[in-house]
Structure 1
């Protein structure tokens, strides 16, 4: 007989509570294999593709694209024995039906006790007219348990509906009945409303919490980076950097890692609950990236242990993955300090908000040709503005100024890195 299981929305990263269904990769009637990708969801951190832990035939999609559902809610029903119960091998008893379903390795879902209950063989109904549920005594609407639950949650009376699928009431029937009538279009309307969800919702909550919990101080520094830009051109011709996208941000990443060694306060965390300051002997460098789904901050793990070339490779891979919306949620956790490149938009500088859990963030502005005094004479040079926001609970003005000056010195003269 059929053996139906419900596929639950798993927690794809620590602390997530909900996700939006972006799109289904399967439809009812499709046969799927173990570990096959069946759905793409957007969490508060990234878009994630979810595999299914069973093989079988998809019987129903319980959630439509665009809907947001809570972690642990059923989103798909599958028949894992569509051909009927398999006979016992060598006369042995069937496998225990109450066996705990193991999640996929690295999948993150909680274990679910999958129990099979006896079902009567479906009877072929005789042809009849669709039920018209007026006030008929004894009328029982045909609907699956998830649809009945949905109707109850939405306050829809199933006896007032006629099923659109051979007399069976579907989720779509219930949702149509629950939906308010569409407002009449307003001539000349110049507004549109978009639900706050996904990455945008998470970003808003994070920056608001950071802005009002960590006392921000922002300092600015303008520097001549002509020597750095000349050094960059030389490196681009070096065989070790052939084919790499050697952006100025790579030099900033290296400068931040070097300067953090001299001012470890910028790479620390304020632990309010424990009443401690946690100093990190490693740099998990966050790089703020603008994506079609909003701002994300993936991390380069142990960036301080990387060479300039390794940083260039890591930064290129990180930005490409973020731009495609494929950054794994785990890659956006546990950063220690962040860089945001506002210069890519032609902006000189800004006052960035510290990433939650970190002590500082560096804004890297646009590099522009500007007049600059060199050896007492006016010249046109490559000029850059930096802005450092830091948590004043952790970092005093002296430490913040020292760190910013060190970053500036390395960018103004890359040879200074030999002294760090």
Structure 2
């Protein structure tokens, strides 16, 4: 029997467990270990609550977990309840699938001010992550600045802009919905360093922005290149830019909507100002060089706002004793190998890139690597040893069936 421990119960973790089941059949025991007492990681706490079709992939993970040879072990903090060295002593392979749940730092003056929130915290708040249940974002703000031009930024804006009725069918948590019902937000501004042709927003999510009951998106025609240049974009990006161009079309009824969502392209925040809390954002206009990299032009303007939400990317938290690339915010690895018997997969391996589905081939590939390395030699104790260790330490775990 081969024994594999997977740290993290998100998509990368479950796809890796599924791959191990298919590779070894009954000749494997997989323990999926997670800090939270609930499974599914990013699916549960990262995907927007009004995107239920995306969250439905958890049914596939549940099927994996209901097999006898895959076990969810929740409420366990690696590094506190058990060390990486101890896990390596118990399992033939340890796979880090911890994702990238921490925000990249917004490294500008004033970023530590009240009213500046990272997207991991804000998304965690409306998704019911226990770390962020007491966040209390200042929703009495009239104006909110969202830094970033990706799908997370779109999710944040959409959640801020929706009416209570538009959340029907979602699984948004009660404390967030109650707060959002009292929101005073009248203007949301996206700030992105580059232009419409460089956004990381996908067509579906951009299309949703144009169908909100009480909000209208606005763009500036001067920010766009010639419409003929759209033909050179790949199809998905071309659809996204088409949505942006549709936002240019004026509709008298749409203009009466009480909430405006503005796109400020070629805009680089350089300082947050306020007397103890956010009052304004100092922004520098940018221009693109021949390699489409942005650089400041020296032209500044002020954006009045009372809340800033930073959606500029994520990083994997380091674990003591595991080599780490601080510049990339991920574990140091070569094709998923970190050290003998220690591996990483998903965002922990490659950084925060790709979609949920990208983790499937990644998970199957890492199990092939594990199989190549562990071969058919002597087997270790696995879950029996882990249970004994936790019994000695009084660690109370939560299994999948407990959670169900």
TM-score by length of 2: 0.22
Higher helix share: 2
Bigger Cα Rg:
1
Higher strand share: 1
TM-score by length of 1: 0.22
Larger RCO (CA under 8 A, 6+ residues apart):
2
